[in-house]
Amino acid sequence: MEILNSFELQYDIIDSDVIINTDYYHAKAEQFSQVFKDLDFLGWYTTGNTANETDLKVHQQMCHINESPVLLKLNPIAGRSNELPINMYESVIDVEDGKTRMLFIELPFTLATEEAERIGVDHVAKISSTGIVEGSASEHLLSIYNSIKMLHSRVKIIMEYTKAVQRGELQSNHEIMRDILSLTQRLPVMTTEMFKGDFFNLPLQSNNVTVVLYFIKILSGS
C-alpha cells in the first residue's frame, strides 16, 4: 500500500460528534478519479496525538466507503524527537464479554521523499539545529524551484485531462472545463512575442514574483 495524494473533507459537528459530508466526498472522489485513474481510496488523515474515541467514530463512517480504511495521524505540535510525529493505524474487531468492538492497531510505515523534498527538509533541519539561516541564496532558489515544479505538475494534470476528453477516454465535466477556461484566460500564452518581451525584460526579482503569482492562480483554481 502506498499513499500518494490527499484532499480535505467537509464535516459537521452534531451533538459533539464529527459527521463526514459523504456527498462532498463522493463529488471530490469522482473528480480525482478522472485525473488519477489508477488510485483508490485507502483511508483518511487527521491531526493530533494518538488515536482516540473520536477518531474511532469517524473511522466507522469511513468503513462505509472502504471496508478496511487506514488512519494517518499527524501531530503538528509534537516536541523534539528522533521519530517522525506520524502514526498510522488500521482497525480490528475484538470480542470482549460477548460484545464486539472496534480497536486501532498501529501499523509500521516508510516515508518516501523526492529529491527536492529531501533538500528542503535537510535545509530546514540545519536551520533548526543552529538557529541561523545559512545559504539564503540557495534557500531562495529552492523555494522558486519548488514553486515552478508544482506549477508544472498542476498544468500537466490539466493537459492530461483535456487530452483524455478529446480522445473520448473521459466524459467532459462542464464544471471542470469552466475552471480550466478561467485559468487559461488568466495565464499568458508563453509562446507569444509579447510575453517573451515583457517577461525577459523584467528584472530577475520581478520574474520570480511573476512565477509565484502564476502558481497561486493555478492553486486557486484547483
Instruction: Give residue 222's pLDDT.
Output: 46
* Residue position matching grid coordinates 485513474: 37
| Number of CB atoms found within 10 A of residue 97's CB | 5
Q: Please tell me the least confidently modeled range out of 57-71, 88-102, 200-214.
A: 200-214
* Residue position matching grid coordinates 482516540: 52
Q: What are phi and psi of 165, to 5 degrees?
A: -65, -40
Q: By the 8 A CB rule, do 33 and 161 touch?
A: no
Instruction: Give residue 6's pLDDT.
Output: 87
Instruction: Give residue 195's pLDDT.
Output: 56
Q: Could you tell me which residue, 18 or 197, shows the higher pLDDT?
A: 18
Spatial CB neighbours of 217, under 8 Å, sequence gap ≥ 6:
183, 186, 187
Give me the percent of the chain exceeding a pLDDT of 70. Answer: 69
Instruction: Give residue 73's pLDDT.
Output: 93
Q: Could you tell me which residue, 55 or 217, shows the higher pLDDT?
A: 55
Q: Could you tell me which residue, 137 or 78, shows the higher pLDDT?
A: 78
Spatial CB neighbours of 102, under 8 Å, sequence gap ≥ 6:
56, 59, 60, 91, 92, 93, 94
The pLDDT tens digits for 29-48 are 988 888 888 888 999 999 98
For the chain, where are the alpha helices, taking DSSP H only? 22-35, 53-62, 115-130, 136-166, 174-186, 193-200, 204-220
Instruction: Give residue 62's pLDDT.
Output: 94
Distance of alpha carbon 112 from alpha carbon 86, whole angstroms: 13
Instruction: Give residue 12's pLDDT.
Output: 93
The pLDDT tens digits for 161-214 are 899 999 988 888 888 888 888 877 766 555 566 555 555 554 444 455 555 555
Distance of alpha carbon 48 from alpha carbon 19, whole angstroms: 18
Length of the chain counted residue by residue: 222
